[in-house]
Structure 1
Amino acid sequence: MKLQLNIQPLNTWLNTNNEPLIISGPCSAETEEQLLTTAHLLAATGKVSVLRAGIWKPRTRPGEFEGIGSIGLEWLKRAKAETGLPTAVEVANAKHVEEALAAGVDILWIGARSTVNPFTVQEIADALKGVDIPVLVKNPVNPDLQLWVGALERINGAGITKLGAIHRGFSSFEKSSFRNEPMWELAIQLKTLCPDLPIINDPSHICGNRELIPYISQKALDLDMQGLMIESHVDPSVAWTDAKQQVTPAALSELVERLTVREPESQNEAFVDQLADLRKQIDKIDDQLLQKLGERMAIVGKIGEFKRDNQVTILQVNRWDAIMNKGISFAKALKLDLNFTEKFLELVHGESIRKQTEIMNAGKAEKGLAAETHTEVKS
C-alpha cells in the first residue's frame, strides 16, 4: 500500500541543478565569527546548496551545551545575506518555528528526538499551518517506520507540500563502527511507500566520525537518495558539539568532488534489454526460493506434530547450532556475506519456532476457550 502524501518534487522548491542536494554547516552555531567564517568557506566551494546550523540543541543530558539560542538566528540571517545560501535549522516546538520564520529561515527540519513524539510533531504541524516552507523530517531515534511515516503525515496534513525526509540512522544496543546503525532497509521501505518523497541522507549522525562519511555518502547516493546533510566547521577540533563527526569546508569540497553520481534509469536500449533479462532470471530464482521455503515449512509442521505427540520440546539448541555452523560454512564457500547468512537463517529458524509453537499449543488454546465458555455458561 502506497503512502498518500501531497508533495512537490524537490527540484520545484529548491534548485539543485540536477545535482545531489548538499546541506552543510556547523553542528552548532557557537559564535558569530565561527558561523560566518564557516559559511563563507562553504559558499566558496560552490558545492553547497543550503547552509545549516544548530540553534537549539536537544542534548541527552543537562549541563551540556544546548545551543546559542535565538541570537544565532541573527547570525544565520547575516550569513545568508553575505553568501546567498539558503538557510536551514532544526525546530523542536512551536516557539522555535515562530522565531525561525520571523528570522527568514528557508528550510526547517524536525530532529530524531522530536519525530519520536507525536505530540511534539503535532505542535510543530499546528504552528506551520498556512505557511509555505520546506520541512524535512528526520527518522525517529529508534527503528520505527510507522513513527516516521506518522510524522510526515502530520506535517503534510498541516498543508506543507514541500516535504522531505532525512535518514540519519537508528539507535541500537549492538556495538558497531557507526554512531547510529544505517538500517538502510527502513529508508528503502519509506521510499517504496512514497516514491516521490525526497530522502536526504545524514552521514554525519550515522557515522559519528568523519572517516566513515565518504563511504556512507556514496552508498546513500547509490540508493537513489536525493542529497546529503554533512556537518562542517571551520575548525572541528574545537567544536562545542560533535567535534569528531564534523569536517572542514575544504574536506567537504574534496569529499563531494570524489562522489560518483549515478542515474536511476538508463535510456540505452541494449542496457534496458539486458537488465530486463537479468531481472527475469532473478524473478525465476525468487519463485524457486519461496517454493522451497514453503516446502521446508510443510516439513517443519510435520516435525511440530511429531514433537507434540512425543512430548518433546520445540527448541533443541544442538540442532540449531549445527544448522548455523553448516550454513555459515556453506555461505563462505558460496562467497555470501556472513552477516546476511546469519540473519537469513535466524529469520527462517524464528518462523520454524513460531509454526511449531502454533501446532504445539493449538489444542490447549481450544481447550482453554472451551473451559472459559463453560465457566461463563455456569455463572
Structure 2
Amino acid sequence: MNTNLDIIPINKWYKGLAEKPVIIAGPCSAETKEQVLQTAVEISKIPQVKIFRAGIWKPRTRPGSFEGVGTIGLKWLAKVKQKTKLLTAVEVATPEHVKICKQNPESVDILWIGARTTANPFSVQELADALKGLDIPVMIKNPINPDLSLWIGAIERVYNSGINKIAAIHRGFSPFEPTKLRNIPKWEIPIDLKLHFPKLDIINDPSHISGIKKYVSEIAQDALDLNMDGLMIETHINPEKALSDAKQQLKPEELAVLLERIKYRLAENKNPEFISNLEQFRYQIDSIDQQIIELLAHRMLVIEDIGAYKADNNVTIFQLKRWKKIISSRLQLAKDNNVDQNFMRKLLQLVHKESIRKQKNVLKLKNASK
C-alpha cells in the first residue's frame, strides 16, 4: 500500500483557500435557479465560507425521491461564480457527469465522489478513468459502511488516474442500530486514514453525521477539536421547503452563528513551556502504555498455561460461568475507578477473543502431538 502519495493540499488548489479550516457550504440539492442564487449570495456574506456546494445529480436510496435537476444546474452555478467570489463543488457519480463538468469549466471548480459511489470499486474506477487528463480537485467521501480499505482504495484509484489535488470527506457511517445521529462518526477511521496519507486533508461533513440540525454544531466542534481540516455544512435559504435532507440543513444566518461560536484551536503550539509540559504528560503515557503491554504479554503466557491445563484434562476452552464472572467483576472495578463501562466491555471482549485464539492454538498443538 502506497502511503507516500504526492497529494496537493487544499490550500494550494486555488487562491483564497490558504486559511484553515476550509469551510464549504450550500444546499444538499440545487432545486431552482432562485434558490441556488439566493442561498449563494447569503452564504457569500459569511467570510469563513470559500466554497459553495450543491448537488445537481442526486443518487437516492429509493426511486421516486428527488434525484436532482441535472445539467441545467450547472448554468445556475456559473451564475453563482459571477455573482459571488465563491468556488463551486458538485458531486459526480458517473463518467457522463465528469464529461459534462469538463465541458462546463465556468461552472465547476471542484468535484466530489459520494459515499454510495465510493463503496463500489467498479464505479470509482470508471470515474477515475473519466478523470484522466483533467486538472481538477476531487474530494472523496467515505463509503457508507465503515471500511477503511474501500476509502483508501478509492483515493488511490483517483490518484492513479493523474489527479493529485485530492481531499477526503468524512460523512460518517450507517449505524447498525438506532442512534441519535443519522450516521455514526467512528472518528478512529478518518484518523487512521490520516496515518495512511499524512498529506491528505480531511473535511468533516457534520450535516450527514447529524441528520438533524440540532447536532450539527456539536459534531462540527468535535471535528475541529480532532484537527480535521475543514467542514462541509449543508445550508439552504429555506430548509423547511428543501426537496432533500430538509431536517439537517441550516439557514445561512444559522451557519454564520455556528461559525462565529465554534472554537478554533491550534494544531500545534511552539511555546517552549507548553511543549515541555506536554512532553512530561506524554512521558507518563508512554510509561503506562509500556506497563500495559508487558502485563498483557504476561497475561497471555498465563492463558497459554491455562489452555494446556484444560487440554490435558479434556476440558472445553470456553467456560461461560467464568466469562460471566470476569465481565461482572471487571465492569464493577471499572465503575469504581471511573473507567467508562462500555469501553471496558469492548476491551474485555478484545482480550477474551485473543485468549480464545491462544487456547485454540495450544489445543491444536496438543492434538497434533498425540
Normalising by structure 1, report the TM-score: 0.93
What is the CA–CA distance in structure 1 between the aligned matches of 2:247 and 2:300, rounded to whole Å?
48
Is 1:154 paired with 2:157? yes
> Paired residue for 1:28?
29
AA aligned opposite 1:149: I
> Paired residue for 1:334?
337
Which of 185, 210, 215 in structure 2 is aligned with 1:207? 210
Q: CA deviation at 1:101?
A: 2.4
What is the CA–CA distance in structure 1 between the aligned matches of 2:328 and 2:128, rounded to whole Å?
51
Is 1:112 paired with 2:115? yes
What is the CA–CA distance in structure 2 between the aligned matches of 1:122 and 1:138, rounded to whole Å?
15
CA contact (8 A) 2:311 2:366 kept: no
Is 1:49 paired with 2:45? no
What is the CA–CA distance in structure 1 between the aligned matches of 2:102 and 2:343, rounded to whole Å?
46
> Paired residue for 2:326?
323
> Paired residue for 2:269?
266
What is the CA–CA distance in structure 2 between the aligned matches of 1:249 and 1:3, rounded to whole Å?
38
Aligned pairs for 1:40-189 (under 5 A) are 40-104=41-105, 105-189=108-192
**C-alpha RMSD over aligned residues:** 1.5
AA aligned opposite 2:5: L
Per-residue CA distance 1:339-359 (angstroms, 9 max, x = gap): 222211111111111211222
Count of aligned residue pairs for this structure pair: 367
Per-residue CA distance 1:321-341 (angstroms, 9 max, x = gap): 221222222222222222222
Normalising by structure 2, report the TM-score: 0.95
What is the CA–CA distance in structure 1 between the aligned matches of 2:109 and 2:346, rounded to whole Å?
43
> Paired residue for 1:301?
304
Q: Structure 1 unaligned segments of length 5 or more: list them.
A: 368-379
Instruction: Assess, with a 3 A threshold, how the Cα gap between structure 1 residues 364 and 110 changes in structure 2: closer, same or farther.
Output: farther
Q: CA deviation at 1:4?
A: 2.0
Instruction: Assess, with a 3 A threshold, how the Cα gap between structure 1 residues 365 and 24 changes in structure 2: closer, same or farther.
Output: farther
AA aligned opposite 2:299: R
> Paired residue for 1:235?
238
Is 1:9 paired with 2:36? no
AA aligned opposite 1:48: V
Determine what percentage of the aligned residue pairs are the same residue. 53
Per-residue CA distance 1:21-61 (angstroms, 9 max, x = gap): 11110101111111111111111122211000011111111
CA contact (8 A) 2:6 2:199 kept: no
CA contact (8 A) 1:2 1:192 kept: no
AA aligned opposite 2:9: P
AA aligned opposite 2:221: Q
Which of 356, 361, 368 in structure 1 is aligned with 2:359? 356
What is the CA–CA distance in structure 2 between the aligned matches of 1:58 and 1:94, rounded to whole Å?
14
**Structure 2 counterpart SS, 1:54:** coil
AA aligned opposite 1:101: K
